[in-house]
């Protein structure tokens, strides 16, 4: 049986233990010879690795685990790289969220000004990572990338490294499908959905269960309850936290007004920004919840292990996030042609959107990469919204490549979450100050 070498880039991530467990649960089919952990922050990675090693010990002790901060050691002859880096860490995420909120504008990790700020930090480190992998990895390697903001990352990579062997993915569509499946009383694998949009900006247009159209049932549920279930903790720990419960609940307002399609939960930031800001705690945003929750839980588990030798493996969970990246990788390597919602170049799949748009749509994942499935024409309302957001994302990439303040200001002004050019300028200027160590200079 072929064995694979796989590197996790950004291995100090809070998601690493869950992803590793998910990989090892598939060892009968997708056997690892070596798991390499790579991060620019050796200390953080070292802590997370304490849990990773415990997981390996428990689920597949044959796998060799290597920790490194050296690119050559990390990527030499690898088959796979799973990328999940957060440029600037949670400290910068917190500023991305809090600075726009000072102006009563949505403060969010990947949406609105915060998402654009995160994009300006991530474009060049992502290109650097691709180049390092290209230099050292096997010619047949694949990078499966979760690093956010995925829409801006995908646009930049398409322009700067069009031949990169990278699949950009997001767990939100598949996470939403998990809720939909629970609502319909079936498993996620039984669903076939139709969907179009950009990353964190799209809609489910049809939901089929084993050939039967069940969209109307989902719509009815969503109109009353959003995509909430009575007990969210049954499906996922992360998404049973208060802010995610609010997010899944807000879907009811959007489906009530626009019952045609079921929106990606992230549409709340663009369609209901006033409501979102009014119900946000400006002093304590999601970054604080994550630092005091998911991150603390992991570090506490490591501390406890170091002092008592006992490990609480419930400090992390696999969830749909860990499952999905492994499912995509397996479909790539074994040519399974599984149908997943992923980020691909449009090339006519959505007939009335530009060919070069990086869209999130269904595709068959083959050993040659994704084969996009044709969506056809989309209605004016959605087309207009998407074109505005797409222009915004393209302008962020332009701003980074051209060191252009004006393009950045255009992007911020165009975003639906921002009310005026004056406001865009104030937020942009504050973010420039906060991101001095990370952004390309904007002139
Ligand atoms: P985290 O801060 O816990 O982990 C990120 C790690 O990346 C850190 O250890 C950091 O040191 C490292 N890093 C930063 N810059 C790097 C670089 N240039 N090279 C290598 N490593 C680098 O963050 P997290 O909350 O666990 O999230 C990890 C990433 O996954 C983020 O980008 C997040 O937005 C993304 N994410 C994406 C999805 C999706 O749907 N696409 C879902 C969940 C998380
Ligand atoms: C979903 C999205 C990711 C995002 C994450 C944030 O999974 O698809 O793109 O990074 O949520 O979750 P968090 O728990 O860190 O707020
Ligand atoms: Mn996502």
What's residue 403's pLDDT?
98
What's residue 13's pLDDT?
97
| Structure letter (DSSP) for residue 209 | E
Sign of the torsion angle spanned by Cα atoms 195, 85, 24, 244:
negative
What's residue 235's pLDDT?
76
Q: Could you tell me if residue 270 is inside a domain?
A: no
Q: Kindly report the protein residue whose alpha carbon is nearest to atom 10 of ligand 2.
A: 148
| Structure letter (DSSP) for residue 441 | P
DSSP 105-173: ----SSSHHHHHHHHHHHHHHHHHHHHHHHHHS-TT-EEEE--SSHHHHHHHHHHH-TT--EEE--SHH
**Is 180 near ligand 2, meaning CB less than 6 Å away?**
no
> What letters, b where the CB count within 10 A reaches 16 and e where it falls short, cover 162-194?
eebbbbbbbbbbbbbbbbbbbbbeeebeebebb
Q: Could you tell me if residue 216 is inside a domain?
A: no
Beta pairing class for 3-9 and 31-38: parallel
Q: Is 93 left (phi over 0), alpha (psi -120 to 50) or beta?
A: alpha
Beta pairing class for 142-145 and 166-168: parallel
The CB density around residue 355, as the number of other CB atoms within 10 Å, is 10
**Is 290 near ligand 2, meaning CB less than 6 Å away?**
yes
Rounded to whole angstroms, how far apart are CA atoms 225 and 418?
Answer: 28
Sequence-distant (≥ 6) Cβ neighbours of residue 183 within 8 angstroms: 217, 218, 221, 227, 229
* Block mean pLDDT (10 aa), the chain, length 443: 97 97 97 98 98 96 98 98 98 98 98 98 98 98 98 98 98 96 94 98 98 98 94 78 92 98 98 97 96 94 94 81 97 98 98 98 98 98 98 98 98 98 98 98 98
Give the SS3 label for residue 301.
helix
Determine whether 171 is an active site residue. Answer: yes
Catalytic residue among 15, 118, 146, 266: 266
Q: Which atom of ligand 1 is nearest to the CA of 128?
A: 18
Alpha-helix runs per DSSP H in 309-420: 319-334, 380-402, 405-414
Number of structural domains (the chain) is 1
Rounded to whole angstroms, how far apart are CA atoms 380 and 376?
Answer: 13
Q: Kindly report the protein residue whose alpha carbon is nearest to atom 34 of ligand 1.
A: 148
Element spanning 54, H or E: helix 42-59
Residue span of the structural domain in which 52 resides: 3-168
Q: Could you tell me if residue 8 is inside a domain?
A: yes
CA 405 to ligand 2 center in whole angstroms: 28
Q: Could you tell me if residue 344 is inside a domain?
A: no
What's residue 317's pLDDT?
78
At 71, list the tokens: 């690119």
CA 155 to ligand 3 center in whole angstroms: 15
Query: In CATH, what number is assigned to the domain containing residue 100?
Result: 3.40.50.720
CA 21 to ligand 3 center in whole angstroms: 20
Whose atoms come closest to the Cα of 295: which ligand?
1
For 34-92, how does the pLDDT look when each residue is reduced to its tens digit (9 = 90+)?
A: 999 999 999 999 999 999 999 999 999 999 999 999 999 999 999 999 999 999 999 99
Give the SS3 label for residue 57.
helix
Which pairs from 386-392 meet CB under 8 Å and 24+ separation? 386/197, 386/198, 386/201, 386/353, 386/357, 387/353, 388/414, 388/416, 389/198, 389/201, 389/270, 389/415, 389/416, 390/198, 390/353, 390/354, 390/357, 392/116
Give the SS3 label for residue 416.
coil
Q: Could you tell me if residue 82 is inside a domain?
A: yes
What's residue 236's pLDDT?
78
Q: What is the pTM of this model?
A: 0.98
Give the SS3 label for residue 276.
helix
Rounded to whole angstroms, how far apart are CA atoms 181 and 187?
Answer: 5
For 267-305, how does the pLDDT look when each residue is reduced to its tens digit (9 = 90+)?
A: 999 999 999 999 999 999 999 999 999 999 999 999 999
**Is 148 near ligand 2, meaning CB less than 6 Å away?**
yes
CA 443 to ligand 2 center in whole angstroms: 32
Q: Could you tell me if residue 53 is inside a domain?
A: yes
Determine whether 266 is an active site residue. Answer: yes
Nearest Cα to Cα of residue 122 among 87, 93, 95: 87
Q: Could you tell me if residue 226 is inside a domain?
A: no
Q: What is the dihedral of CA 424, 430, 433, 435, to 10 degrees?
A: -70
What's residue 203's pLDDT?
99
What's residue 232's pLDDT?
80
What's residue 188's pLDDT?
93
User: Is residue 108 a contact partner of residue 95, using CB atoms and an 8 Å limit?
Assistant: no
Q: Could you tell me if residue 217 is inside a domain?
A: no
């Amino acid at each position: 049986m072929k064995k694979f070498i796989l590197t996790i880039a950004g291995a100090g991530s809070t998601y690493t233990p869950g992803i590793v467990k998910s990989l090892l649960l598939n060892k009968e089919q997708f056997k690892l010879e070596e798991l390499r952990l790579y991060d620019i922050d050796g200390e953080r990675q070292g802590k997370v690795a304490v849990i990773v090693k415990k997981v390996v010990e428990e689920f597949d002790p044959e796998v060799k685990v290597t920790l490194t901060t050296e690119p050559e050691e990390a990527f030499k002859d690898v088959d796979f790289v799973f990328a999940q880096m957060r440029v600037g860490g949670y400290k910068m995420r917190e500023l991305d969220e809090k600075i726009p909120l000072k102006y009563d504008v949505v403060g969010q990790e990947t949406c609105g000004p915060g998402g654009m700020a995160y994009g300006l930090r991530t474009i060049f480190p992502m290109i650097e990572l691709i180049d390092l992998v290209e230099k050292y990895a096997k010619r047949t390697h694949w990078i499966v990338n979760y690093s956010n903001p995925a829409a801006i990352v995908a646009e930049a990579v398409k322009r700067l490294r069009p031949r990169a062997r990278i699949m950009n993915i997001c767990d939100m569509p598949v996470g939403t499908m998990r809720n939909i499946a629970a609502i319909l009383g079936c498993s996620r694998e039984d669903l076939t959905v139709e969907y179009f949009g950009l990353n964190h900006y799209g809609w489910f247009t049809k939901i089929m269960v084993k050939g039967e159209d069940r969209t109307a049932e989902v719509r009815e549920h969503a109109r009353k309850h959003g995509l909430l279930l009575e007990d969210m903790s049954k499906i996922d720990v992360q998404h049973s936290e208060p802010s995610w419960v609010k997010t899944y609940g807000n879907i009811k307002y959007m489906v009530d007004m626009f019952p045609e399609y079921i929106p990606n939960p992230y549409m709340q930031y663009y369609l209901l920004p006033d409501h979102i800001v009014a119900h946000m705690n400006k002093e304590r945003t999601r970054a604080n919840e994550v630092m005091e929750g998911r991150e603390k839980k992991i570090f506490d588990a490591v501390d406890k292990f170091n002092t008592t030798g006992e490990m609480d493996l419930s400090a992390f969970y696999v969830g749909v996030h860990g499952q999905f990246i492994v499912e995509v990788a397996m479909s790539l390597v074994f040519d399974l042609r599984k149908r997943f919602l992923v980020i691909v170049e449009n090339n006519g799949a959505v007939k009335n959107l530009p060919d070069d748009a990086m869209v999130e749509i269904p595709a068959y994942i083959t050993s040659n990469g994704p084969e996009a499935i044709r969506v056809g024409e989309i209605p004016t309302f959605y087309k207009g919204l998407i074109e505005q957001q797409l222009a915004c994302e393209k302008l962020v990439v332009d701003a980074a490549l051209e060191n252009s303040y004006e393009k950045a200001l255009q992007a911020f002004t165009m975003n639906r979450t921002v009310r005026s050019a004056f406001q865009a300028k104030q937020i942009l200027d504050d973010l420039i100050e906060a991101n001095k160590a990370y952004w390309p200079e904007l002139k």
